[in-house]
Amino acid sequence: MTEPKDPSEDTLSVLYSKRKSEHRAPTTIKRKVLKAQLTENTHTAIFNRISYVAVAASTLLLVGVILLRQEQLNMPELTYQTVEIHSLKPSNELSSASIRNRYAQNYKTYLEHQKAFAQHHQKHATLTVTGKFWELKTCDDEIMQISEELIVALNKIQRIDSKLSSGDIVQIAFDQSGMILGIQGSSVHLNC
């Protein structure tokens, strides 16, 4: 009886390699895998594109918000002037009825507020003569327009300094209801 032959590890390896070479992977696997890769690439490309668009949009939005905010910060401080009309003319002679009413109302409110103020208080202002009107500008950016009639009326009762000219500093005297009682020249220097 012969001894069974003991194939060496090399033989097993050779046989294994031979078997492997006889059982190659079907080409369908490769084809399907590469097709899947192509789909993956397409999806990735779409996703990347969406990401880029989203990032770009976000950046634009951010820049827009920053610019807008900066613009708001750089905007000059809003200033306004209060214009009061002092006139002897009846209120119905003013050009616009709505403006007249509004100013009359505001003037009334203003005078009411002034009641709490000192009964005889005075203000200093800079005089500007413009045609028929006098304009008195205070340091509070308050401009008082004095009509010709009022000037004549005050002049008659000698409550106005006739030597006043444009650019002079004047002292305005009010009564307790806020009506102008007199305008006199002043030596006080205004530091507005």
Partner 1 sequence: MSFALTLKTFIAGRHSNETVMLRYAESGDKALLTRLYTACGDDLYHFVLTLSDPTLAQDISQKTWLKVIEKKHLFRDSGKFKAWLFTLARNQLVDELRQHKNHSGDIDTLIDNKKTLDTCMSRADIGSRFDQALLSLPFEQREAFCLQQEGFSLSDIAKITHCGTETIKSRLRYGKQTLSKQLATDLEISHD
Q: Is 24 in the site for partner 1 (CB under 8 A)?
A: yes
Give residue 46's region: left, alpha or beta (phi > 0; psi -120 to 50): alpha
Q: Does 10 participate in binding partner 1 (rule CB under 8 A)?
A: no
Token couple for 103: 């100013």
163 forms part of the interface with partner 1 (CB under 8 A): no
- Binding to partner 1 in span 111-130, by CB under 8 A: none
Site string for partner 1, 28-67 (x = CB under 8 A): xxx-xxx-xxx-xx--x-----------------------
Which secondary-structure segment (H or E) carries 137?
strand 133-137
Write out 24-67 in H/E/C secondary structure. Answer: CCCHHHHHHHHHHHHHHHHHHHHHHHHHHHHHHHHHHHHHHHHH
> Could you tell me the smallest distance in angstroms from the CB atom of residue 46 to partner 1?
13
Does residue 104 touch partner 1 according to CB under 8 A?
no
Select 30 or 69, whichever has its Cβ closest to partner 1.
30
Q: Can you tell me which of 10, 20, 73, 78 binds partner 1, judged by CB under 8 A?
A: 20
Listed residue (163, 141, 113, 161) closest to 172, CA to CA: 161
Give the separation between CA 144 and CA 68, rounded to whole angstroms: 38
**Footprint on this chain of partner 1 (rule: CB under 8 A):** 2, 4-7, 9, 11-13, 15-20, 22-26, 28-30, 32-34, 36-38, 40-41, 44
